[in-house]
Amino acid sequence: MNSHLSQSSLKIPLHKNCQIIGFHSANIWAFNKSPGVSTHPNSSQFSSSTLLQSQYDPKNECYKWKDQKGNLQSLYLVHRLDSPTSGLLLTTTDHDIASQLKDAFYKKEVKKTYLAVVRSNGKPIRKCWEDNLEKKHINGKVRVVAGRCGHSATTHVSVKNRKHTKIGELLLLEMNPKTGRTHQLRVQCAKRKIPILGDRTYGDFSLNRKFSRSFKNSRLFLHSARIEIKIKNNLGQTIEWKIESSVPNEFSNLFD
């Protein structure tokens, strides 16, 4: 059961480019994260480019701040989005609910839907992608490679729209990852020679430059569009919620 969205119940120091787009009575908050905003800082230090403009507690995976009455408030992260990825991000102010949600994400019981824009390479898009992904640390940065080693990664894919442009045929993909590997969708697209537009790590850098010149946009075209959860709280009550983040204008403009 959803409650009426009420921002007045808790003043969250949200980044100016992010928005509250949903609230569930189980104290679950849904945010729309802008590209370029980090889900959390790399340490407990304050950062102006993170989801919340407050201190972060990496041990408990939560932001902390004092409200107008001087009371300490906490907001727990239950999953992550890469900094260049936009869209839906769930959090909660309830420690027990945070544990339930983290467990649901870990057990792959949460249905996630992403949108991505790629340039067609002329080959048909298979409906199910299965790969082994291995995470490596190279020069202090996380990189993921697809090969024989690593953890299995599965994603269901469908083409939602397509359009011929001056740089080739663009495809709007709907992607449902069944696993939650680091950089999963970006690496799986790159492996199939259809890297996500604007990907500065795994992408086609020449194509990115051409696209940026033609469409005046250099963002990563990957968006967290929908999340569906079903968990039980400590009282044994079932919490179900389906929340969506609207398609970014940058995506829609490409296919108008």
Q: Which residues pair with 88 in a beta bridge?
A: 32
Alpha helices in the chain (DSSP H): 95-106, 184-191, 205-215, 249-255
For residue 114, give the H/E element and its range: strand 111-119
CA atoms of 100 and 47, how far apart (whole Å): 28
Helices H / strands E in the chain, number of each: 4, 13
CA distances from 203 to 150, 179, 190 (A): 21, 21, 6
CA distances from 138 to 144, 150, 178, 202, 205 (A): 10, 16, 27, 14, 19
Per annotation, catalytic residue among 57, 67, 82, 94: 82
CB contact set of 209 (below 8 Å; sequence gap of 6+): none
C-beta neighbour count of 4 within 10 angstroms: 6
- CA quadruple 223, 228, 232, 234: dihedral positive or negative? positive
Is 96 tagged catalytic?
Answer: no
With left for phi above 0 and alpha for psi between -120 and 50, is residue 101 left, alpha or beta? Answer: alpha
- Return the residue matching tokens 């260049």: 84
Active site residues: 82
